[in-house]
Amino acid sequence: MNAKTIQYWVFWLLCLVCFFVLPVNAQYFDINGHKKKVEIPFKLVRNMIIIQLRIDNKGPYNFIMDTGVGFMIITDPQLMDSVHVCKTRILKLGGFGDGDDYDAYATPPLKVDIPGLTSYNVAAAILQKDNFGLSNYAGMPIQGLLGYEFFINLAVKVNFSDSTLTVYRPADTRLYAKGEKIPITIEDHKPYMVTNIDMPDGCVKTDKLIVDLGAGHPLLLENMNNELPKKYITANLGIGFNGPVSGYISRISEVELGKYKIKNIISSFPTNDSVLYKYESVKRDGNLGIGILKKFIVVFDYHDNLIYLKPGPSYKEPFEHDMSGLEYYAGGDDFKHIIISRVEPGSAGDTIGLEKDDEILSINLKPTSAMSLEQIDEIFKSQNDRNLVLEVAHDNKHDMVIITLKRRI
C-alpha cells in the first residue's frame, strides 16, 4: 500500500459530504435487553478513539469513532471480500483537498456487532481504494470510521482518563447528565455548537463549529486568510478526500465552552483554496477537535441536542505543537519502521539535514520499534531547546545526529 502521511491534527478532513442516500430505514444502535448502560473500551491512538467491532460475524476490525462523519465508512477495500457489496452502485465522495472525488460502493444493511449493543439497518460506504493510509498513521490496522449511526439513538459518555465509552438510553438522563450543558444542533448528521472565540488582536468572534471527535487538532477555523494572528507558521494540514490541504498553524487566545474558558490554543487555518466549499451543505466557521475535547469527560446527547462537559485530569495541561518539523508514519507489515514523509523547511529537522524517506531507528538510544507513534509524538513536542540523539538510516547507511527541538509557535 502506498501510505500517505497524515498530520497529527488532520482528521477533521473526514467530515465529508456524500452524494447518495443510504437505506431509508433509520440506522442506529441500541442497548441489548434491559441494561441501563454498556461500557466499551477504546484505545486513544494519536488522538483517535479506536474501538473493535465485528461485521457480519467477521473480524474484529478497528474503527475510529468520529462525530464528524455522517455515515459508516469502510476505508479498507480488503473488506469487500467479507461483506456483500453492490458493485453496480458507485458512490461519489467529496470533501476537502485539491484532487478529484473518490469512488466507493454502497453496502446493504450490515450486522455490526459491538458487545452489549445491537445494530439496526446500518449500511456503509466502502472505498474502492485506501487513499489515506490510516493504518500507517496509527501504527495498527484501521478498517474504517463509525459516526452518526452510533450516536443518534444513544447518549455516549467519553472518558479519556480510563479509555471507556459508556452508552446509555437517552431516557435515563439521570445516569449521565452531569457537567456543564452545551446546546448543540444536529445538522447533516453532525453535531454543531455556537461559541465565542477570542482572537489575539482582542476581537471576539461568534463561530459555528462542528464538535468533531474525529479531528485530532484542538481547533480549526476557516475563512481566516485575512485575519490570521500575527505569529503563525506555514503548515501541511494533511490529506483529505480530495488531496493535500495547505494552511497555517497559530494560537487563539480563548475559546468559550459554557463556563469553561480554554486559553492559548493551538489552531489550524486552512487556506481558502484548500477547502472545496461547494461540498458544504451546512455553513460553518470551523471545528472543535479532540485536542480540546480530551481535556474533559464528554457526553454526547443528540436526542436532547446537548453535550455535557466535566473537566478531566488533563484539563490544565498546556497545548504544544511538534518542535521537530518532522512528519512520519509507521511502515512495514508490522508497523515498526518510522519513516519520514515530510520535513518542514527551516525546522529543527531540516537544519540537521533530515530528508523524506529517512528512517528513524532510535531516539536517545531507545529503538523506535519499541515505541508507539504517540510516544514519539510526545518526545518531539516535549521541550524547547531539548537535544535528542537520533539514529537515522539514510542511503543504506546509519548516521547518529543530534536534533535540537525548537518551539515554532
Looking at the fold, whether 261 and 330 belong to one and the same domain comes out as: no
The answer to whether residues 213 and 128 belong to one domain is: no
Residue 175 lies in a domain: no
Q: Which of 118, 137, 168 is the last residue of a domain?
A: 168
What's the structural domain count of the chain? Answer: 3
134 φ, ψ to 5°?
-60, -35
In whole angstroms, give the CA distance from residue 354 to residue 327: 11
Residue 400 CB-half CA count within 13 A: 6
Pick from 168, 200, 226: which residue ends a domain?
Answer: 168
Do 242 and 382 lie in one domain? The reply is no
10-residue stretch averages of pLDDT, the chain, 409 residues long: 34 40 73 95 96 96 94 91 70 52 83 97 89 88 96 97 97 91 96 95 93 94 78 78 73 96 94 56 91 97 97 96 95 95 94 97 97 96 97 93 96
Residue 187 lies in a domain: yes
The range of the structural domain enclosing residue 381 comes to 326-404
d(CA 129, CA 144): 12
- Is 369 a member of any domain? yes
Same domain, 139 and 188: no
CATH number at residue 267: 2.40.70.10
Instruction: Name the CA radius of gyration of the chain, rounded.
Output: 21
Strand partners, 174: none
Phi, psi of 211 (to 5 degrees): -90, 105
Domain membership flag for residue 250? yes
Same domain, yes or no: 374 and 275: no
Residue 10 confidence (pLDDT): 37
Domain boundary among 294, 317, 334: 294
DSSP H or E stretch at residue 43: strand 43-45
246 in any annotated domain:
yes
Together in a domain, 252 and 378: no
User: What's 347's domain CATH number?
Assistant: 2.30.42.10
Residues 27 and 145 both lie in one domain? yes
Instruction: State the pLDDT at residue 225.
Output: 63
- Report which of 164, 159, 206 is spatially closest to residue 178, judged by C-alpha positions: 159
Q: Are 288 and 237 in contact (CB under 8 A)?
A: no
Residues 158 and 196 in one domain: no
Domain match, 273 and 396 both: no
Q: Are 84 and 107 in contact (CB under 8 A)?
A: yes
Query: Which DSSP state fits 318?
Result: P
CA 183 to chain centre: 22
What pLDDT does 350 receive?
Answer: 97
Pair (252, 330) in one structural domain: no
In a domain, residue 5? The reply is no
Q: How far is CA 238 from the centre of its chain?
A: 11
* pLDDT number for residue 70: 85
Are 20 and 73 within one domain? yes
Do 257 and 360 lie in one domain? The reply is no
pLDDT at residue 239, rounded to an integer = 60
